[in-house]
Amino acid sequence: MKPIYLDYAATTPLDKKVIDSMTPFLEQEGGFGNPSSLHSFGQRAMAAIDGARIMLAKTIAANHREIIFTSGATEANNLIIRGILKSFFKNKKNSSADKQNCSITPRIIVSEIEHPSVLETVKILEKEGAIEAVYLPVDRFGVVDTAALERSLNDRTILVSVMWVNNETGAVQPIEKISKIIELFKKNEGKNYGGNYPLFHTDAVQAFNCFDLNVIKSGVDLMTLSSHKVYGPKGAGASYIKNGVEILIEPIITGGDQEYGLRSGTENVPAIVGFASAAHIAHNTYKTEFERLKKMSERFFKKIKKEFPEVEINGSDSGRSPHIINLYFPGHENLGLVMDMAGIAASSGSACSQRYEKPSHVLRAMSLDASRIKNSIRFSFGRFTEAKDIDDAIGRIIMSLNK
Ligand SMILES: *Cc1c(COP(=O)(O)O)cnc(C)c1O
């Protein structure tokens, strides 16, 4: 039985066009050189990175100077959170006016449903005593409480980080609204540390395939992207850092000063080239992909509901990215295993926590009880999911649950 892949939120296969764009930079005849070298081999590789930077920047309405390539979204999130904090403490040490205030701890506000690369990083910094962390609750649909954000912003807040689309439920977060709240706070009361803070960051990894990630319209200062969630290769990602904000970030990886000094280390040229071409395709197709996957997701849920009237969606039916659907099957545990046996690759919990069998922090934040969480599973669809896959998957799911 050929397994059906319904785990696009965990990772996506490479698009053939992406492979083609990368090949020259993997071959001896192509641009294998070190981009830092001044000879022609190096310059060819450097030109490829420059081109990729421009191409990626365009997809989010940014300038190429605002893109920092990293090894992935985990590193990009770490660079932003740790880099901002590092810069904050460095500047504070240098400024005599603030010397008396050395005991003041900066505040970082994040949602309870962030990806572990944000959430765990913030928790570690909190434990170290470097920051005071505030975790914004979500409603039963998995959408962040913006009133709680308004209450949490204070004159010590340096960063707010809320993801665009949640990777376990697909819940779309009110990014523009959050931007406006922070903007208003800055205008009315926030002269935080010279008026530079609070900064607004969004992890937009799961939003790239179905939404327009326009950094101007969304009003974000910082954004995180990952290549392997948009049909690009693993091991590449990026931080968007708004012009002017880069002076508030210190690198966490130091050395040869690549990536405008914010991320040292020889660039992964083929992966970066592949990432940019993958992003370009994703951006050109997000509208049609949204509609196509919406139909697919509706068909999937409707047909399952017909056989299992007790099935429920964890999260909202409307405010969701259509590529993710998280379902509760009352009375059915170990769904990951059940699906695997039935030849369906889906995900119980987020990919990162599956091995440890921790109950999902996202579903818990939505106030779902332990037994409901145990009886839930995430399906995610993508570019290569066809109607036939959905129908076959439904058949297999119904059969295995009826056993
Ligand atoms: C996958 C994912 C990440 C991590 O991306 P990597 O490139 O694998 O490090 C971060 N945030 C979200 C929302 C994700 O889905």
Q: Report the C-alpha gap between 42 and 150 in whole angstroms.
A: 49
User: 226 CA distance to ligand 1 centroid (A)?
Assistant: 6
Structure-block tokens of residue 199: 């900064």
CA of 107 to the centre of ligand 1 (A): 24
Entry pTM: 0.96
Pocket, ligand 1, Cβ cutoff 6 A: 72-74, 115, 117, 163, 167, 203, 205-206, 226, 228-229, 237
For residue 205, the CA-to-ligand 1 centroid distance in Å is 6
- pLDDT computed for residue 350 by the predictor: 46
SS3 109: strand
Best residue among 70, 114, 115, 118 to mutate for probing ligand 1, ranked by most atoms within 8 Å of CB: 115
Catalytic residues: 352
Q: What pLDDT is attached to residue 96?
A: 57
pLDDT for the residue 97: 56
Query: Of all atoms in ligand 1, which is nearest to the CA of residue 11?
Result: 1
Angle at 158 between CA 103 and CA 257, to 5 degrees: 100
pLDDT in the model for residue 28: 87
CA distance 133 to 211: 29
Give φ, ψ of 232 to 5 degrees: -105, 180
Distance CA 27, CA 30 (A): 5
Longest Cα separation, the chain: 71
Q: pLDDT (tens digit, 0 to 9) for every residue of the chain, 403 residues total?
A: 899 999 999 999 999 999 999 999 999 888 899 999 999 999 999 999 999 999 999 999 999 999 999 999 999 999 999 999 999 999 887 775 555 555 689 999 999 999 999 999 999 999 999 999 999 999 999 999 999 999 999 999 999 999 999 999 999 999 999 999 999 999 987 678 888 999 999 999 999 999 999 999 999 999 999 999 999 999 999 999 999 999 999 999 999 999 999 999 999 999 999 999 999 999 999 999 999 999 999 999 999 999 999 999 999 888 999 999 999 999 988 888 888 888 999 987 544 445 556 789 999 999 999 999 999 999 999 999 999 999 999 999 998 888 7
